[in-house]
């Protein structure tokens, strides 16, 4: 089975509990878990070349020679230990050329320490550990394939995370709860690499985003912020949601209420953190919430598997999880002081990068709403396209844009010719061939910058060229960007000596719109899934779109 | 002296925790007659050590201080084979 992915656990302690928890968490034949020989960290990093992901969890006193002496409170130059960190990081970077690496931030195990001097610069162990972790984080940031994981979240909330007895008996330094937490987080990080994170939170309002029922008490009667322990819980929950929104997670509302009353509350309540512009959409009516959520998903062009639904009402939660099993519907506490912790514990909003597009995602959707409004107000489609003043910029895929390109490869469903799900390293490997090229497509119009929204991948094999990847975010669908990309692809292949561009459509459950684009374009249809263009004749660029091609 | 039920509950709790990291075919059955030691036990030596230490740490919260692992490894014959045996043994030890 060629698609199987090997995950190698590398540690200088007995990591069997993590292996067990992670095996049960992943539960998918796609993954094979291996554990490298105990204590052979450096050798394993150099050897596990077949691995798709290495999880490296070490203790500073065992992996850094000088740290052990520091733990015994011997006089050691911190600079020497930091040089060891540098060496360790360099080995991780070398290994990351071929695979992903998760490296756990170091933690101190039991030691006598320096007491009140433990943070003293150049002396204390806490001071030294912090420096080592920062040095490691800075160095491994050079690689896009290495992710340094915060181990604090694995031990947080556990009474006694260290177990000396387990260490003496089995060389396991932690209680099983630590490994269970680690497996939960690592499972989510693996999902993130595979592009399976949740991207939209659909929220109820009454007793979820604020305390009380707005339809009964009016916005003045809501419990939100102020000198009120309940109100502060709701306010903090809104702050947490706002933070996620800043990270690119979108917010929407599904509430059984009167829309006008709700908007008055959102616009006028002085303690509202979330404003209208923080929501990409809403359905405030008396309809079935499952229907509302399905409509929102459709409007925002997201799959149901990208959605989390939060509602204080168990009956509504039951209805939605029953009707839309792909939507994550967490059990929700009644006590608002638990809301932020519950949201955090979902661990489903991970991302391997935070791109400019992620941070601006909500405003991009709001611009999109404005575009749709203009479309309704003009006489015909040509007028609308002219008024949009769309500008397309194509630039080669390089280290500056590959994170976002990888995201598009793994997230785009509808306008995606072959739906190849490629990791960053797989894209780089594919491009390591002179016959191949890939361009990143950015789009702007009079309403704003939509950012990097498309990718085309080309292969010029002598006379016959091939459009391998044609990926475009649905946000720019239907405004002739599709045809502009066909023009660009044909021109590029012609300049590389191809006389024909072949396009092979590979159907999936969700890329029907791609076939529609191909059928409507001026292409020679070879059969139901193969299309051609004569590169010598070329493909006309749409009149209302400006194209700017930037070189290498 | 603690009751057998109290101690059995702790053993079940520890076994449940351990089961979460064990494969389906290697999980401990939560019954008094289920073997945790010997050829009928699903546990390997590491699994058994983890279970014993976990039980030891949990029963300490009841005020019972027994070095189960140490007694077990020093015994010629295992002092218990099943969960039920272990409960009775611990009740006896706690007295």
CATH of the domain at A46: 3.40.50.1110
Please check whether residue A359 lies inside any domain of the structure.
no
At A378, which CATH number?
3.40.630.30
**Cβ within 8 Å, pair B46-A14:** yes
HEC profile of A374-415 = HHHHCCCHHHHHHHHCEEEEEEECCCCCHHHHHHHHHHCCCC
Strand ranges for A293-368 from DSSP E: 307-310
Q: Specify the pLDDT at position A1.
A: 44
DSSP β-ladder status, A390-396 and A250-255? unpaired
Query: Among candidates A448, A437, A416, which has minimal Cα distance to A489?
Result: A437
* Residue in A with minimal Cα distance to B70: A169
CB contact under 8 A, B49 and A170: yes
Q: Which two tokens stand for residue A382?
A: 């040509």
Task: Say whether both A220 and A283 belong to one domain.
Answer: yes
A264 has a chain B CB within 8 A of its CB: no
Same domain flag for A188 and A227: no
* Structural contact between residues A479 and A390, judged by C-beta atoms closer than 8 angstroms: yes
pLDDT of residue A552: 56
Q: Is A350 inside a domain boundary?
A: no
Q: Does B20 touch chain A (CB under 8 A)?
A: yes
* Residues in contact with A511: Cβ distance below 8 Å, sequence separation at least 6, in sequence order: A413, A414, A415, A416, A417, A419, A505
Q: Which two tokens stand for residue A210?
A: 């604020």
- Whose tokens are 């575009």? That residue is A371
d(CA A422, CA A439): 15
**Any domain includes A358:** no
Q: Which fold has domain B4-94?
A: 1.10.1200
Distance CA A373, CA A357 (A): 22
Residues A276 and A323 in one domain: yes
Cβ-nearest to B20 among A16, A24, A169? A24
Residues 6+ apart with CB under 8 A from B83: B8, B11, B12, B15, B28, B30, B31, B32, B33, B34, B36
pLDDT at A223: 93
Q: Are residues A178 and A311 in the same domain?
A: no
Query: Quick one: A182 and A110 in the same domain?
Result: yes
CB A362 within 8 A of CB A251: yes
Cβ contact (<8 Å) for B23 and A24?
A: yes
Q: Is A285 helix (H, G, I), strand (E, B) or coil?
A: coil
The answer to whether B66 contacts chain A (CB < 8 Å) is: no
A18 shares its domain with A140: yes
Q: Which chain A positions have a beta carbon within 8 Å of B56's beta carbon?
A: 165
Task: Clarify whether residues A428 and A472 are in a common domain.
Answer: yes
Q: By residue range, what is the domain housing residue A243?
A: 200-345
Q: Is residue A220 part of a domain?
A: yes
Distance from CA of B80 to the nearest CA of A (A): 20
The residue with tokens 């649905």 is: A474
Domain annotation covers residue A352: no
Residues B23, A16: C-beta atoms closer than 8 Å: no
Residues A116 and A184 in one domain: yes
Task: Characterize the bridge pairing of strands A200-203 and A500-504.
Answer: unpaired
Length of chain A equals 552
Residue A169 forms contact with B (CB below 8 Å):
yes
A10 strand-pairing partners:
A56
Tell which residue, A247, A419, A244, A259, has the closest CA to residue A340.
A244
A118 vs A70: CA distance, rounded Å:
11
CB contact under 8 A, B46 and A16: yes
Beta-strand ranges (E) seen in A65-193 are 100-104, 146-149
Of A163, A165, A179, the CB nearest to B21: A179
CA A127, A130, A135, A137: dihedral to nearest 10 degrees?
-170
**Torsion-angle region of A480 (φ positive above 0: left; ψ -120 to 50: alpha; else: beta):** left
Residue holding tokens 């693996």?
A190
A289/A336 same-domain check: yes
The answer to whether residues A459 and A439 touch, using CB atoms and an 8 Å cutoff, is no
**Residue A351 counted as domain residue:** no
CB hemisphere CA count around A205 (13 angstroms): 27
Question: Of A329, A345, A361, which closes a domain?
Answer: A345
Q: Does A306 lie in the same domain as A395?
A: no
Contact criterion met (CB below 8 Å) for A417 and A471 = yes
**Cα–Cα distance list, B91 to A478, B5, B9, B79 (Å):** 75, 10, 12, 13
Q: In chain B, which residues have their Cβ closer than 8 Å to the Cβ of A186?
A: none
How many domains are contained in chain A?
Answer: 3
Whether the CB-CB separation of A210 and A312 falls below 8 Å is answered with no
Domain residue spans of chain B: 4-94
φ, ψ for residue A533 (rounded to 5)? Answer: -135, 140
The reply to whether A164 touches chain B by the CB within 8 Å rule is no
ipTM: 0.92
The answer on A483 and A435 residing in a single domain is: yes
Cβ neighbours of A172 in B, within 8 Å: 50
Give CA–CA dist A457/A467, Å, rounded.
6
At residue A500, the pLDDT reads 95
A389 and A532, same domain (yes or no): yes
User: Splitting chain A (552 residues) into consecutive groups of 10 residues, what average pLDDT does each group show?
Assistant: 81 95 88 89 83 94 91 92 96 90 92 90 94 97 92 89 92 94 93 85 96 90 91 96 92 94 94 93 93 90 91 94 95 96 89 71 73 69 81 93 90 90 89 95 87 94 93 86 95 94 93 92 92 93 92 68
| DSSP-based three-state secondary structure for A281 | strand
Give the pLDDT confidence score for residue A410 in this predicted structure: 87
- Asked if the C-beta of A20 comes within 8 angstroms of chain B's C-beta atoms, the answer is yes
Q: CA A413 to CA A392: how far, in whole Å?
A: 21
Would you state the pLDDT for residue A458?
96
**Closest C-alpha to A140, from A192, A68, A191, A89:** A89
> A174 in contact with B at a CB cutoff of 8 Å?
no
Q: What is the pLDDT of residue A497?
A: 92
Round to whole Å and give the CA distance between A251 and A406.
Answer: 23
Question: Angle at which helices B45-60 and B83-94 pack, to 10 degrees?
Answer: 40
Q: Closest approach of chain A CAs to the CA of B79, in angstroms?
A: 19
Size of interface A-B (CB pairs under 8 A): 43
Cα three-residue angle A161-A162-A166, rounded to 5 degrees? 125
Q: What is the DSSP secondary-structure string of A110-133?
A: S----GGGTTSTTT-HHHHHHHHH
- A180·B23 Cβ contact <8 A: no
């Amino acid at each position: 089975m060629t698609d199987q992915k090997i995950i190698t656990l590398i540690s200088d302690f007995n990591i069997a509990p993590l292996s067990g928890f992670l095996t049960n968490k992943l539960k998918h034949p796609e993954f094979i878990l291996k554990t490298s020989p105990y204590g052979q960290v450096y050798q394993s990093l150099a050897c596990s070349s077949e691995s798709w992901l290495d999880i490296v969890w070490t203790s500073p006193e065992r992996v850094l020679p000088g740290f052990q002496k520091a733990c015994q409170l011997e006089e050691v130059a911190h600079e020497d230990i930091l040089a060891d960190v540098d060496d360790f990081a360099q080995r991780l970077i070398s290994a990351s050329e071929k695979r992903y690496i998760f490296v756990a931030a170091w933690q101190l195990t039991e030691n006598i320490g320096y007491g009140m001097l433990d943070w003293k610069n150049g002396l204390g162990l806490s001071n030294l550990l912090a420096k080592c972790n920062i040095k490691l984080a800075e160095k491994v940031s050079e690689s896009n394939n290495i992710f340094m994981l915060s181990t604090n979240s694995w031990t947080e909330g556990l009474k006694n995370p260290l177990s000396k007895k387990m260490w003496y008996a089995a060389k396991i330094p932690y209680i099983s709860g630590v490994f269970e937490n680690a497996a939960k987080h690592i499972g989510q990080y693996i999902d993130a690499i595979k592009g399976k994170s949740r991207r939209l939170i659909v929220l109820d309002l009454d007793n979820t985003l604020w305390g009380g029922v707005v339809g009964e008490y009016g916005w003045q009667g809501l419990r939100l912020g102020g000198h009120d322990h309940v109100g502060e819980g709701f306010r903090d929950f809104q702050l947490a949601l706002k933070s996620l929104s800043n990270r690119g997670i979108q917010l929407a509302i599904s509430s059984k209420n009167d829309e006008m009353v709700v908007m008055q509350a959102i616009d006028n309540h002085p303690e509202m953190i979330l404003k209208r512009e923080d929501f990409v959409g809403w359905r405030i009516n008396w309809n079935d919430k499952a229907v509302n959520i399905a409509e929102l998903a459709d409007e925002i062009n997201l799959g149901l598997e990208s959605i989390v639904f939060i509602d204080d009402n168990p009956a509504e939660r039951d209805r939605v999880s029953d009707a839309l099993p792909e939507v994550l519907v967490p059990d929700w506490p009644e006590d608002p002081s638990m809301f932020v912790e519950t949201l955090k514990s979902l661990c489903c909003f991970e991302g391997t990068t935070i791109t400019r597009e992620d941070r601006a995602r909500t405003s991009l959707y709001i611009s999109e709403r404005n575009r749709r409004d203009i479309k309704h107000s003009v006489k015909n489609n040509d007028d609308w396209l002219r008024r949009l003043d769309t500008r397309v910029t194509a630039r080669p895929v390089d280290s500056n844009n590959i994170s976002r390109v990888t995201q598009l490869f793994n997230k785009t469903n509808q306008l995606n010719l072959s739906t190849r799900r490629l990791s960053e390293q797989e894209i780089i490997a594919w491009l390591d061939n002179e016959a191949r090229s890939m361009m990143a497509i950015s789009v702007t119009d009079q309403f704003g910058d939509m950012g990097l929204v498309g990718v085309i991948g080309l292969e010029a094999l002598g006379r016959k060229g091939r459009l391998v990847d044609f990926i475009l975010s649905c946000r720019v669908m239907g405004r002739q960007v599709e045809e502009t990309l066909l023009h660009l692809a044909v021109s590029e292949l012609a300049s590389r000596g191809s006389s024909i561009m072949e396009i092979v459509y590979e159907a999936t459950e969700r890329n029907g719109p791609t076939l529609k684009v191909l059928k409507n374009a001026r292409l020679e249809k070879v059969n139901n899934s193969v299309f051609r263009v004569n590169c010598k004749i070329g493909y006309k660029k749409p009149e209302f779109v400006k194209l700017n091609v930037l070189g290498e | 002296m603690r009751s057998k039920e109290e101690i059995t509950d702790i053993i079940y709790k520890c076994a449940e925790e351990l089961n979460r990291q064990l494969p389906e075919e290697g999980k401990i059955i939560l019954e008094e007659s289920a073997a945790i030691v010997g050829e009928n036990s699903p546990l390997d030596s590491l699994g058994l050590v983890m279970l014993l230490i976990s039980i030891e740490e949990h029963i300490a919260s009841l005020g019972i201080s027994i070095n189960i692992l140490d007694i077990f490894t020093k015994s010629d014959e295992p002092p218990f084979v099943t969960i039920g045996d272990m409960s009775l043994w611990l009740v006896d030890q706690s007295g």
